[in-house]
Amino acid sequence: MLPIVEKTLRTSFVNASRKETTDITLPAGFETLDWDALDYLGWRDPKIGRRAYAVVPTLDGELIGILFRQAEASPRSRAQCSWCQDVKLPNDVTFYSAKRSGPAGRNGNTVGTLVCQDFQCSRNVRKLPPPAYEGYDVEAARLRRIEDLQVRAASFAAEV
Q: Are 116 and 84 in contact (CB under 8 A)?
A: yes
Q: Residue type at 24?
A: I
The b/e string for 65-93 (b: 16+ C-beta within 10 A; e otherwise) is bbbbbbeeeeeeeeeebbbbebeebeeeb
- The pLDDT tens digits of the residues spanning 10-22 come to 999 999 999 999 9
Residue-level pLDDT at 86: 84
Residue-level pLDDT at 90: 75
**Mean pLDDT within 124-129:** 92
Cα dist. 80→32, 57, 96, 119, 134 in Å? 30, 22, 13, 13, 27
How confident is residue 123, by pLDDT bands cut at 50, 70 and 90?
Answer: very high
Q: Residues of the chain with pLDDT > 70: what percent?
A: 98
Neighbours of 117 (CB within 10 A): 18
**Mean pLDDT within 108-117:** 94
Residue-level pLDDT at 116: 93
Greater model confidence, 77 or 136: 136
**Mean pLDDT within 76-94:** 83
How far is the C-alpha of 54 from the C-alpha of 18, rounded, in Å?
A: 17
- Our measurement of the distance from residue 44's CA atom to the centroid of its chain's CA atoms, rounded to an integer in Å, reads 10
Q: Is the pLDDT of residue 132 over 90?
A: no
Question: Bridge-partner residues for 113, per DSSP?
Answer: 96
Q: Are 95 and 112 in contact (CB under 8 A)?
A: yes
pTM over cut 0.75: yes
Average pLDDT score, the chain? 92
- The pLDDT tens digits of the residues spanning 20-77 come to 999 999 999 999 999 999 999 999 999 998 999 999 999 888 999 999 999 887 656 6
